[in-house]
Amino acid sequence: MAWLKNRIENLKEQLRIVVTNPDNFEVKWTITSSKIQIYSFIFLVVIVVGILFSLLIIKGSLSGYEAKNDVTIDRQKLMSQAQEIKKLSLKIDYQELYISNIKKVINGEIIADSFNSEIPEMQQVIVPKLDGKLTDNEKEIAKKVKDDMQTSSQPKIKKSKKLTYFSSPVKGEIIATYDLANHPFIEVKTAKDMTIKACLAGTVIYSGYTSKDGYMLIIEHPNDYISIYKHAKIALKKIGAKVQTGDPIGIVGKNGSSSFEPHLWFELWYNQNSLNPIDYISFK
């Protein structure tokens, strides 16, 4: 007990801390305090510093955890990945179609001469980029075509002076008939992977992809005719390409539609007026 009493008395001992000028020993300021007060102050400072340090560590750990577990979706990156997947899928479809044709030739189902006549076109397939963005020229062409094709009444069609013969772009069953006011086009159900052919010689003025229409091609023909092909799964021609009647321009698909069957959306226009394709072309 005597030892403890001595320790307590020792802690109560007063200390004086003096700060002086080293040049003239002038006293600047002094502090008088007991040892227990000094020790208590040091202990309090250590506790405060320890708490602040612990808070900094905890905050840093939480920030790292949140960064590692951040599930925010980068929309642009997701769209880019989806486009790459779509592009790879289309390449696989083309390769499967090419292999299928090779097998048919080997089995004698397709005449070699007719097969060879189509292969060069198929080998030139360039799958368009699915970036969904149009160049300024493509936007101008698309706007012009859209504006030119606006019609609200039965058109007064001036017959072409030159007789025109159209070829069927596909063969199949018409599952959606033509109606000028509400449905100025037809839809033709076809076999899977059927080749879409140009109905008439001309120039491709649009070739692109949209989520609504899938791959779409627009061909401008002589004598003010225009033909439009939608819902293709592959476009075989680019803008500016020259085509002849019957040239392959795409592969039938079901892109951009709720339909579960391969089909072609087909429109025919003359002098900026919509025509009923079945009046000019046989699809059977």
Based on the number of CB atoms within 10 Å of its own CB, is 50 exposed (0-12), middle (13-18) or buried (19 or more)?
A: exposed
Query: pLDDT higher for 118 or 220?
Result: 220
- Taking 80 as the threshold, does the pLDDT of residue 11 lie above it? no
pLDDT for residue 69 is more than 70: no
3-state secondary structure of 63: helix
Strand ranges for the chain from DSSP E: 14-20, 27-34, 173-176, 186-189, 195-197, 202-210, 214-221, 225-235, 242-243, 248-252, 263-270, 273-275
pLDDT per residue as tens digits for the range 121-167 = 444 444 444 455 566 766 676 666 655 555 444 444 544 445 678 99
Alpha carbon distances (Å) from 53 to 46, 61, 189, 217: 10, 12, 72, 66
Reduced to 3 states, what is the DSSP secondary structure of residue 78?
Answer: helix
Which residue type, as a one-letter code, is found at position 252? V
DSSP 165: -
What pLDDT is attached to residue 284? 85
- Lowest mean pLDDT: which of 207-216, 229-238, 249-258? 249-258
In three-state secondary structure terms, 146 is: helix
Contact 171, 246 (CB under 8 A): no
Delineate the domains of the chain, giving CATH numbers in brackets: 2-68 (no CATH), 75-123 (no CATH), 136-152+164-279 (2.70.70.10)
Q: What is the pLDDT of residues 108-118, one digit of tens each?
A: 665 544 444 44
pLDDT surpassing 70 at residue 258: no
Residue 276 has a CB neighbour count (10 Å cut-off) of 15
Check: pTM over 0.75? Answer yes or no.
no
Confidence band, pLDDT 50/70/90 cuts, at residue 63: low
- How far is it, in rounded angstroms, from Cα 246 to Cα 212? 26
Asked if residue 197 lies in contact with residue 227, where contact means CB atoms within 8 angstroms, the answer is no
pLDDT, position 93: 76
Determine the distance from the C-alpha atom of residue 26 to the mean position of all C-alpha atoms in its chain, rounded to a whole number: 80
Rounded mean pLDDT of 7-12?
Answer: 70
pLDDT at 125 (0 to 100): 43
